[in-house]
Structure 1
Amino acid sequence: MRTDTVYKKAFNRTATMLRDGQLAGELPSENELRRRMCVSRTTVRKVLRELVHRELITERDGLRATGRAVGDYDYYPDVETTSRAKHVEQQFMEWMLRGDTKPGTSINELELARQFGVATNGIREFLIRFSRFGLIEKRPNTGWLFKGFTEDFALELFEIRVMFELRSAQLFSRQPDSSPLWDKLAALKIAHIELLARIESRFHDFSGLDNRFHRLINEASPNRFIDDFYDIISFIFHYHYQWNKQDEEQRNHAAILEHLAYIDALESRDPERIERACRAHLASARATLMRSLIGLDE
């Protein structure tokens, strides 16, 4: 299952590179594609075979070139490209975001398992993992309780976030031109521009894009402890503050513009410009979070 997921994610990434023009004309070697996608040669070859089968690329005399245009229907659906744990996390975050879930809300494992289409042990593993942060509490014989968080908790968490991200942003700017992170950043830039053009109807989608963007920045300084910490960052900064629905569209519109300025700064590789853009965006996120906490106390 895991190998299939890796392949489908790699296929989707390659399809996006074709659609966005990152791959045009004659394709690079298998080794170069493997480097860009950060997968094995076996996976690259499987992706290429399927691309040829679907006529998205052509193959003649050992040379591969772009074929027909990529359509939305060519992509594997998200549910097939995420691990079970990630699927549960995404579904849970969407449940918290789309519903008006508040601190004190009871969480029923069985109900969530049915709603998300997964086994109850998958839900339980997720809740146990998050319970160590003190945001979710197991109540004997009554299921789980979402407790929310205090202003002090949020401020302490934010302080660590700024430290991690400033470091990662500077390391990102020092990546060599050959790093696959630059291709990922370019693709995210396009995704931001597309969402901005449809912000009136798709402003809820910013949370997922926000999460992808900040996780990409932290890929420049891979660290298991930072990765673990970012689980709780996702929960709070990308979902929790959005319980305050007031001006959500306007806030997300402004955040997209900040992201685009941040991306431009990263591409400039200017350390001072990067720090200004990073601090400006994180200051806005902090202000939004603090306003949401005030709203929850009213």
Structure 2
Amino acid sequence: MVLVRVGSCGRWPEEVGALSLTEDVYDQLKAQIVRLELAPGAVVNEGELATGFGVSKTPVREALGLLARTGWIRVLPRRGYLVRPVELGDVLELFAIRRLVEPALARTAAATASPEAVAELRKLVDKESGVDFGRALDAAKSFHLRLAEIAGNRRLYSILETLVEEVQRLHYLQPDHVLTPGELRAHRRIADAIGAGEGDDAAELMLDHLDEAARTLTAGFAGA
């Protein structure tokens, strides 16, 4: 397996440069968890992963430690590491947090976004309508993270990155519920409100969007 760069290890976009080997392994493993290549409940160990990546155990051990601290895996003493299963409570918690932070980010972005930034948001929405499942999800993730970047909030960017990636995993678990036309319209309307400088409208649209996404994913997860 060849290591490829798939993320920024939680770093602010302008600070992303060359990643260490540990960060590369961390990003690659996290991407595999999100895409279900490492399924919920799977048990992995350092030796097998090191062999698969073609690296020593040290960067793998360090990357697994980071994944454990960020909640993606759990340590199983003398057995390895468990990919954390997904429960209905996870869905509820994720969206409870997102409801608290993302409407405020949308409101702030409406006051600070340049025309170029708004154009970027609209391009991301266009990418979300593509037929490639993974790329559409990545574009949706980038849309939400771009709002945090436009708002200039580094800490919320880092927090939101993990939240959105966890929701991505939920979408992979329920591919029938990914990026409905309603979700695409919501993103486009949010971008339009930000472009018009309508902060209250952008915040309300974001809250409505998150509520609808939460209802859809919760219903699907519960087997409704």
TM range (shorter): 0.7 to 0.9
User: Which of 77, 82, 86 does residue 140 from structure 1 map onto?
Assistant: 77
CA contact (8 A) 2:105 2:148 kept: yes
Instruction: Report the Cα distance in structure 2 between the residues aligned to 1:86 and 1:284, rounded to whole angstroms.
Output: 34
Runs of 4+ residues deviating >6 angstroms = none
Where 2:112 maps in the other structure, the secondary structure is: coil
Task: Name whichever of 163-172 and 282-291 sits farther off.
Answer: 282-291
Structure with the bigger RCO (C-alpha within 8 Å, sep 6+) is 2
Return the match for 2:120 from 182, 187, 192.
Answer: 187
Larger radius of gyration: 1
Letter of the 2:167 partner, please give it: F
Give the Cα–Cα distance (whole angstroms) in 2 for the partners of residues 235 and 126 of structure 1: 17
What corresponds to 1:242 in structure 2?
Answer: 172
Give the letter for the 2:198 counterpart.
D
Task: Kindly state the Cα deviation for residue 215 of structure 1 after the two structures are TM-superposed.
Answer: 1.3
Q: What CA RMSD, in Å, does the superposition of the two structures yield over aligned residues?
A: 3.3
Amino acid at match of 2:75: K
Structure 2 gap segments, 5+ residues each: 6-12
In the alignment, which residue of structure 2 is the partner of 1:266? 194
Aligned length: 211
How far 1:287 moved relative to its partner? 2.1
Letter in 2 for 1:274: A
- With normalisation by structure 1, the TM-score equals 0.59
- In structure 1, what is the Cα distance between the partners aligned to 2:51 and 2:159? 28
Letter of the 1:264 partner, please give it.
D
Task: Calculate percent identity across the aligned residue pairs.
Answer: 22
Deviations 1:202-222 (A, max 9, x none): 122122112211111112142
Q: Is the 8 A contact 2:124 2:142 kept in 1?
A: no
Higher mean displacement: 258-267 or 104-113: 104-113
Structure 1: stretches of 5+ with no match in the other structure: 6-36, 40-79
Kindly report which structure 2 residues correspond to 1:1-298, keeping only aligned pairs within 5 A, or say none.
83-84=19-20, 87-99=24-36, 101-116=38-53, 120-132=57-69, 134-175=71-112, 177=114, 182-196=115-129, 198-199=130-131, 202-219=132-149, 220-224=151-155, 226-248=156-178, 251-295=179-223
Q: Report how far residue 89 of structure 1 moved.
A: 4.8
SS at match of 1:238: helix
* Cα separation, partners in 2 of 1:99 and 1:132, compared to 1, 3 Å: closer
Q: Offset of 1:96 from its aligned partner?
A: 2.9
